[in-house]
Each structure stands twice: as C-alpha cells, then as structure tokens.
Structure 1
C-alpha cells in the first residue's frame, strides 16, 4: 500500500538535515537552516506583540535556555509549557529543547483541575505558565517574562543529542484510559516534514495560520516545525478565534496556508465572506476528524484540489495520509506518505482484502505510543513494527484510504479527543440524574457537538426537569474545559445496554444521529 507522497503545492526549500549539524540537536537544525538560507532577518512570526524575525526567535530561545540552565535544568528534564500560542511559547519550547530537556506543551486554557492532572502525569521539573498557576504543581512555575529577561547569563551550547533522544512530548486522550504522553525525538521533526510538510508544500513566501493550537502535536507541526524548517511566516493568536475573526485574520495577513478542523470549517462557511476569503488560500489543510461528504463537496467547490485532507495521530507526530494536489480521490484521505506504511486488519490481526473494513495499523520511524507518567521510559515502536490504532478503515486497490471512525469509546469534537465517561460522571453527580450517556452528533450544518442523554430519577416532573437541565449545563461549564461541555441535555426513558448492563455506545450514537431516542 505504500506509495509516493503527493507532490507539494509549490516549490519548497529542503531543510538542512539533522546529520549535518554538530550536536544533532533539533534547535541547532532549525537555526542552521535559517542561517544557511539567509532567513535570519526575515519575519518568522506575527502575534499580538508584532513581528518577530527568525534571528529574534533563536536569540529568545537562547535566553530561555540560559534561564532554564540557571535553575539546574538540562538534558532529560521535563518542562511543562502551559502558554497560549505566541512568541513566548515558541521561545520557551525551543529553549527547553536546546538544553536537551523534553518540552511538554499543555492547553493553557485547561480548567485548574485538569491542569493539575496534566502536571501529575508529566511529573515536570519545571512549569512555564502564567503566575496564577503557581500552587497547582509541585514543580516551580516560571513565567514567560522570567525567561525573556536578558540578565547577562551565558547562553548554554546546544546539548549533544542522538537522533533517538527525546525532544518533546504531547498529551493524548488515549483510547482506553486517561491522557498519556507520547514522546518524540530530535530527529522526528525532519521526518514529519519530509512526509506531511512535503505534502502541504509550505514555501518561503507563505503566511501560515493554524486553528489547532501548538499544545497538540498537529498544531506544533503546523506552526513551529514546518514553517521554521521551510522559512515561512506564521501568524499566532493567543485566544481562540471565532469564525468571523478567523476570516478577518486570514484576509488581513494574507494567509496562504490555513489549517483547521472540519467542524470549524463548517462554522466558517456560515459567514457571508467565507467563500471569497477561503477561495484565495493557496492550501487549506483539514484534519482532526472525519470530513463529512457534504462539507467536503462545499469546500472542494471553493478550493478544488487546494483542499488537503490529512490524517495522523499524536503517536505519529503529525500526518501520514494526504488527499490533495497530486494524489486526490473524492471522499478519501488520500494515500500513505513515505516513509510510512499502513495496512487494514481483521479482529485476528490478519490483513483484509482491498475495500474491506477493519482496524487501521501504521508503521514508520516516528511512532511513540503513550505512557501513563512522564517518569516512565518513553515507548518507541520500531520502524518495521505495526502500531494498532482505534480507527475503522478501508483501503481500495489503488491505495486510497477511507477512515470511518473510532473503534473505541472516544468521541471527537472539533478535532479534540474527549472521553464521554468524564462528562457522564459530572452529570451523574446531580441527585436527579439516574443514568447518563454523552456522544458527538453532527448537526445539519456539518458541525460536531456533544449531546448528553440522561435518565432522571422517579418523581422529577417536567417543570423540575427544565431546572435540572440548566443546572447540569452550568455544572459542566464550571468544572470542564469548554470543548467538553455538551451543547444540550436531552431526557430519555432509558439508555441502550447489553445483557450484562454495559452501555451500548454505538447504539447511543446511532439513536442520537437518527433522533430515535424516546423522550
């Protein structure tokens, strides 16, 4: 099934290889690539504070590295980075990797309870975050300001790193439990660039913007690895933009490479300016969840093969499938990108025939299965080993892949994995709720949202039920991160269960989709 990757959408400058640097350090690779191609004084980033050159990016990373080193941090130290997208995040991340530490981005908008849990999982030696997070962690909290001060401290040299030395780790929801950490190495960014970066075809004259944040592996490639390796300019926004603001940003900055999830694209298309703004993009990359056929038709009408539908996982580090310019087939995810391989297997692990549905398995050089704690030895799958996903897929005779959805219980909303049990636990804390089930549904406009279905205890009348609905939604809003809050709560007489009482989640999804739940 392995095929040549799609051609890039335009000429792209090849990065300087890791093997050509003195230390094998990823940050040296990035800085030497900028120097070798004469980019140091060109604009690398634009954020709320203005424009930042490639030179200022690496000088700032050096100051952050000096601040980390002055606090005794160095090779192998785990540094949790809880900052919004912006130049401070970039410098902190690169500063950590420069000294041989492991940078671990985390969502800066997490609810405090979730932020504390992230700290428990990562077990960091230090945390970079806003001052108000001080006290949530056992590790010391450093602010972005403390990393940016030029106090005369010597900038440490690039730490000597082998290709397999861990450089960063990304949180994943996992498929059978809580969040885990997937570790990636100093060599991985270049491999990911040769696959997904080449398929996207980022160029020096591009302006990039990614709706997915850099605390995700996908957003990290979009906004950091690919543009720094290829010399593009990237726009960063600390706050989460709505569709209208995002369209205005694309127009204002002349964004040419734009990354988002299907749900957000669906929101954008409701705006009267969407077709004109999106139609001027050179490349639009969509990922994070299955792209509905109706939405793909609308986007293809605007952008044709300039729409690149990709698939990847946190364990991979970015994308390994791409459906766009040079390798396109409607309603698929395209074909696998070298150097990755894939196959589809049955329940016994045997490859299935072309066109038959089964479990998707992947192989390649960047796969890092998650671990439950940062102090555990990072897992790494050998390039020839198969890594089993939780996705149902088919591959046709020409190698074009269709992914049909998850095989496990994880819901995907806006490209983010959500464990429904966490939300159900919150709902069932209410004394009036007997049972609860949460699933993602797709509205007629193509937007994925969470919907909760609850069975109330006996004696709760209709008037009280409306008050319970508001209390349940309010409880979710105050205790959960925004994307985990259901759009609405529906009351039903029963939930589908098997003979031993286990909730039948596939039936829940099906009844939610066709409206057959009995009120």
Structure 2
C-alpha cells in the first residue's frame, strides 16, 4: 500500500525557507525568525540559572562562531559537540552552523570508550567539551569558556546551498557501530512543516524534552522547533528521573512534553502524575511501540492531546503522527506532508491495505547513515524509497500501525510472532509495569515463549505468584496457542539502551542462559 498525504495549508509561524535569507544558512534563518516576529527579547530558554532571551542565544552563538573562526574552522569542518543539554550546547551548535561547519552532537554521558569511538567515527576538526574529556580525542578541544569569551570579530553567516550539510546525528548503534546521518541547512524547515506543525508549537508554549539533543528527535524538540516557532524551552543538563520530571513540568508550567512510552509509564507510578500530565497542551510520545494499556491510560488523561509519533534518525524527526485531527486508536496516525510511505512484501511489491509488510519511506530529508564523518553524506532523492527495518500495516484510510522491528520477530513452531502483541496483553494487568517476550529453545529443539515481567511497586512475593497464574490464564484465553508464553519470569528491570529502547538481543541472551530467573 502506498500513501501520499494532502499538503496542508500554509504556516506563517516562521520564515518559509533558508532561501529567504541572504546566506541560505540555517543559523541565520533561526535568528531572522526571532527578529522578524519581534521575539528577540522574549524567553527562549529556561535553565537552573534563570531565563535567557532569543537575543542572548544568538549573540552567544555569534561569539562561538568567532572562536571557531579564530581556530581556522569554516565551511566543511566538523565540530563534535560533547556537552550536556544547555545553553552552551545550543550556542556551540548554532556557532558551528554560522561558520559553515557541520555540528555533530554526541551524548556527553558516554563511557570514555564510547566517547573515543564517537570521535573516531566523526573525525572532527575540533571538539567542544569540558577539559576532562580532552585526552579522548586527537582533535583540539575547545571548552565552553573559550567559546563564550571575546574571540574576535563575529564572522558573517557562511553562504550555504540548501543541500549543504549543517549537522549530523549518530544512530543508536543497536546492530553495530553507530553511523552518522547528515542533515542539511534546508532540512529543518521541512521537519518543521511536518512534525513541528503536528505538535503545533507556538509562542505561548513552554517545552521540555526528556530525549536529549544528541538525538535527532531531541534536537528538533529542544532547538529547531522552538527557535523557529518562538516557544520557550526548559533545559536540564541531566536526564531527570520521572518524579523530578513531574516536578519540573509543574514548576515551569510546561505545555509541550516529549518522552518515550517507558518514561511516561514510570511517571504514572508517582502521586499526582495524572493531574500534572493532564495540564499539558500536548504530550508527545515516540521512540518505541506504545503499549495499548499505556495508550488507554494516557488517552484517558489527555484524549487527543496525546500525540504518538514515529520517525528515525535518518529522517531527522517524525513523519507519522496520531493526535488531534488525525487520530485512530492504537495506530501511529497518517503520514505527514511532504513525506510518503508504502508497505511492501519481501520482493518490494506494495501490499494491500491491512496486509503486513516492510515500511518504506520517501521524502526530502532522508540521509542514510555513513560509517565515517569524512565519507560523502548519503541522501535519498525525494522520490526514492528508503527501506526501514520495521514491520507495519496500513488501513484503507492510511492510518499506520508499526508492529516493531522485523528482526524483533520471534519464531515459535515455525510461525512468526510479534512480541509486542503479547506484551500489550500482559501489560493490561494492573500489577504489571513492563513486559518483554522472547522465544527460548529447549534441549529437545522445541521453541516456546518466555515472558519477563517487571511488577509495580508494592506487589509482594505471595501476590506475585497469583499474578503469574492470572497472566498465563489470560494469555491462554485471549491469544492463539502459539502466542501463549510457557512461563513468566519476574525481574527487577528490563535492559534498555541510553535512548530507552528495549534491548531485545540482551533479553534473548538472558533467556537462553537462564540468567534472568530469580
């Protein structure tokens, strides 16, 4: 099935294009957007030090650009930014763009080995980081203090074509070394037309994103969309615990909150969570399949103010959204203009509505990852199909359901099983916090399913045995026989990567070795 959405009406929130600027530079577009709409003295960011205006953000970016230029950085240079979310990161990112360099933001909490690997992959000409990271890189390290001082005259915005690379994001590296996906100076406006418009960020909003700016998704949430659209954004250097996040939402009157399903589930275990989340104008959930039980609970609190979105690092943000105006329960909504999608079989032929297949995408911002920063950035043509690793279906009205990664499929008795379907059923039990299902092979060669379950706080050992029997009984009465777990193992937590995604390979390895039983 191939789906192409109608193009929505015009949006005058921000200047239409980098083509409207003198230089074609994204950093100039963001500054001119604030200036043209009279926002320079409005609050752009809020952090532990107070409020910071759009003017101070862009003036700080100019000082960073001056420092970069003084160190010989310019068009084509790569700048690795290894800083936590904060004003220093924003200014370094915009300053790099201003001189025509490519900004590559990396997780500042990486283990030293991972950080060194990121440096080898990015091959930067300079690194922006704190002094203690200096020994991890061969490139010179510039500290935030050096970027905020008097580095000389502020250089003009480097002239850039729409296809000039502006920044790059690392993939999560769940199937090997991370790759770099490059995005251009023109991509931000396309992402804003799609995901930014779906979220509907305005000058009246206060935003907070749990996903950090080293992810393409977090970068859009905390930098691109609010700077284009004039919203205020709360920044925290560390990723908050769920209870701390709830307190922050209440303290700052956050209206747009972005997070992953697991984080929302953990927030809901705390007193007052429903009241705080219920004040949001929109709650955006992404990063993994949203369990049905959690969607029901969030819909009860938020209704269509819950926006479930789908995207990839290669795209740059989201291209599917299920929320106000285009909502259908338990789907990811429809594709957002100007993107297109289709669902194909193993031979690459489009399938009929309702038939499961592989999700393929087309659009103007898709940049498949490359192994090294010095590699020629890959870009798909706007009409060229990019193949994901996700299994999906689309109904006749174009509402898409993503079932999970194709390599997440478990095989039981020669039959393909999507674990998310079973996990959804298990998580409907009020005592279950999280669940993961995988197949195990016994010594006799027979495969069966095993469920790993995290119980909610307060469920004691005696009650847990009752929960186990109830889960198995429910599975037997509501699922086809080959989807019923053979047993349920209670665990204290499930393995997840730094993005919050479930590490299914680790779950399988633990199941095979029996190391998760306790």
Q: Which residue of 2 aligns with 1:277?
A: 276
Contact 1:76 1:102 in 2 (8 A): yes
Contact 2:5 2:337 in 1 (8 A): yes
Q: Which residue of 2 aligns with 1:141?
A: 141
State how far apart, in whole Å, the 2-side matches of 1:509 and 1:336 are: 36
- 1:15 CA displacement: 3.3
- 1:260 CA displacement: 0.3
Contact 2:8 2:337 in 1 (8 A): no
- Alignment deviations for residues 270-314 of structure 1 (CA, whole Å, 9 cap, x no partner): 011100000000010000000000000000000000000000000
Q: Which residue of 2 aligns with 1:292?
A: 291
Q: Which residue of 2 aligns with 1:55?
A: 55
1:109 paired to 2:99: no
Contact 2:99 2:155 in 1 (8 A): yes
**CA 1:372–1:62 in structure 2 vs 1: closer, same or farther (change >3 Å)?**
same
**CA 1:55–1:108 in structure 2 vs 1: closer, same or farther (change >3 Å)?**
same
1:367 paired to 2:366: yes
Contact 1:174 1:370 in 2 (8 A): no
Q: Tell me the secondary structure at the aligned position of residue 135 of structure 2.
A: coil
State how far apart, in whole Å, the 2-side matches of 1:358 and 1:312 are: 17
Q: Which residue of 2 aligns with 1:3?
A: 5
State how far apart, in whole Å, the 2-side matches of 1:200 and 1:265 are: 18
State how far apart, in whole Å, the 1-side matches of 2:154 and 2:441 are: 57
- 1:3 CA displacement: 1.9
Greater mean deviation of Cα atoms: 370-379 or 16-25: 16-25
RMSD of Structure 2 on Structure 1 (CA): 3.2
State how far apart, in whole Å, the 2-side matches of 1:20 and 1:117 are: 39
**CA 1:148–1:366 in structure 2 vs 1: closer, same or farther (change >3 Å)?**
same
**CA 1:506–1:43 in structure 2 vs 1: closer, same or farther (change >3 Å)?**
closer
**CA 1:361–1:104 in structure 2 vs 1: closer, same or farther (change >3 Å)?**
same
Contact 2:163 2:186 in 1 (8 A): yes
- 1:481 CA displacement: 7.6
Q: Which residue of 2 aligns with 1:468?
A: none
Contact 1:361 1:387 in 2 (8 A): yes
Contact 1:6 1:199 in 2 (8 A): no
Contact 1:305 1:324 in 2 (8 A): yes
Matches within 5 A, 1:116-515: 116-151=116-151, 153-174=152-173, 176-408=175-407, 444=427, 445-447=432-434, 508=508
**CA 1:405–1:159 in structure 2 vs 1: closer, same or farther (change >3 Å)?**
same
Q: How many residues align?
A: 448
State how far apart, in whole Å, the 2-side matches of 1:283 and 1:319 are: 15
Contact 1:127 1:140 in 2 (8 A): yes
State how far apart, in whole Å, the 1-side matches of 2:98 and 2:120 are: 24
Q: Which residue of 2 aligns with 1:39?
A: 39
**CA 1:446–1:100 in structure 2 vs 1: closer, same or farther (change >3 Å)?**
farther
**CA 1:481–1:362 in structure 2 vs 1: closer, same or farther (change >3 Å)?**
closer
State how far apart, in whole Å, the 1-side matches of 2:437 and 2:241 are: 18
- Alignment deviations for residues 145-202 of structure 1 (CA, whole Å, 9 cap, x no partner): 1101124x00000000000000000000356531000000000000000000001000
- Alignment deviations for residues 88-131 of structure 1 (CA, whole Å, 9 cap, x no partner): 00000000011000000000000000000000000000010111
**CA 1:219–1:365 in structure 2 vs 1: closer, same or farther (change >3 Å)?**
same
State how far apart, in whole Å, the 2-side matches of 1:69 and 1:134 are: 20
- 1:516 CA displacement: 13
Contact 2:262 2:500 in 1 (8 A): no
State how far apart, in whole Å, the 1-side matches of 2:22 and 2:402 are: 41
Q: Tell me the secondary structure at the aligned position of residue 389 of structure 1.
A: strand
Q: Tell me the secondary structure at the aligned position of residue 168 of structure 1.
A: strand
Contact 1:450 1:486 in 2 (8 A): no
State how far apart, in whole Å, the 1-side matches of 2:500 and 2:263 are: 16
State how far apart, in whole Å, the 1-side matches of 2:166 and 2:501 are: 33
State how far apart, in whole Å, the 2-side matches of 1:506 and 1:55 are: 47
- 1:483 CA displacement: 6.9
State how far apart, in whole Å, the 1-side matches of 2:439 and 2:69 are: 48
- 1:240 CA displacement: 1.3
Contact 1:354 1:395 in 2 (8 A): yes
Q: Tell me the secondary structure at the aligned position of residue 157 of structure 2.
A: coil
State how far apart, in whole Å, the 2-side matches of 1:330 and 1:135 are: 51
**CA 1:230–1:485 in structure 2 vs 1: closer, same or farther (change >3 Å)?**
closer
Q: Which residue of 1 aligns with 2:22?
A: 22
State how far apart, in whole Å, the 2-side matches of 1:43 and 1:454 are: 57
Structure 2 unaligned spans of 5+:
411-421, 443-494
